[in-house]
Amino acid sequence: MFFWIQNGQMTPRSPEISRRLVPPVYHSEKSASSKKIESEEDRSGNRSNFFQDARSAYLESEEKIESFPLLFASQVMSSPVFTISEDQNIEEAKILFMEKRFRHIPILDKNQKLVGVLSDRDLLKTISFSGTIIHTTVKEIMAKKILTGSLQTEIRYAAKVMLDEKVGSLPIVDDNGKILGIITRTDLIRAMVKFPGFTLLA
């Protein structure tokens, strides 16, 4: 399940995921469809080249379907998460980006609730168009509508939704909006290296 967080409110976001984008987790030896083809062939007694070719092609396509492990946000996310306050100066954020080499930093309010995400792109854009950044706070330039996921979010779904919504990070929160971790493109790549057989491709 995915949520948008904006102005302290959590709103469900239910993406429509194409079944082709998520590889099957389990694979049976023969599907009902292949058994049906086989039984019809036996009854007809006519092993025409056309039928044989069609059946062979179908069974061959089934053999190519592989099982892929399921991964969830709790297994892939980076945690604990480095965060900053919405009232901090963006000069401080700039130093943090340079030192830690982050691409995205979750922003918290005084109650430690997630209220925004600051990207290095937004920071650089502000610095480029502003002569002074001394009095500018993180709150003024952060993204205030944040796409989030839960610990049970399946990683292929997460990658698809991040792509659809054009976001580079997915904060992972609990039911109260408290941040537990974060998933970035780097975490997705690391998952493919760490877990043999895992792929984001169907």
The tokens describing 33, both together, are 């469809």
Confidence of residue 153 (pLDDT cuts 50, 70, 90): very high
| 182 lies in the same domain as 109 | yes
Q: 112's torsion region: left (phi>0), alpha (psi -120 to 50) or beta?
A: left
The domain in which residue 183 lies consists of: 2-18+70-194
| 59 lies in the same domain as 113 | no
Question: Is 120 part of a structural domain of the chain?
Answer: yes
Asked whether the predicted pLDDT for residue 133 surpasses 90, the reply is no
| 83 lies in the same domain as 116 | yes
| 56 lies in the same domain as 119 | no
Predicted pLDDT at 134:
61
Q: Length of the chain in residues, anyone?
A: 202
Predicted pLDDT at 8:
77
Domain count, the chain: 2
Q: 166's torsion region: left (phi>0), alpha (psi -120 to 50) or beta?
A: left
| 48 lies in the same domain as 87 | no
| 99 lies in the same domain as 153 | yes
| 39 lies in the same domain as 107 | no
Tens of pLDDT, residues 18-54: 444 444 444 444 445 555 544 544 554 555 565 565 5
d(CA 193, CA 30): 31
Q: How far is CA 106 from CA 39, 109, 154, in A?
A: 58, 10, 21
| 37 lies in the same domain as 10 | no
Tens of pLDDT, residues 54-111: 556 555 554 444 455 789 999 999 999 999 999 998 888 888 888 888 899 999 999 8
Q: Which residue has the tokens 């945690």?
A: 79
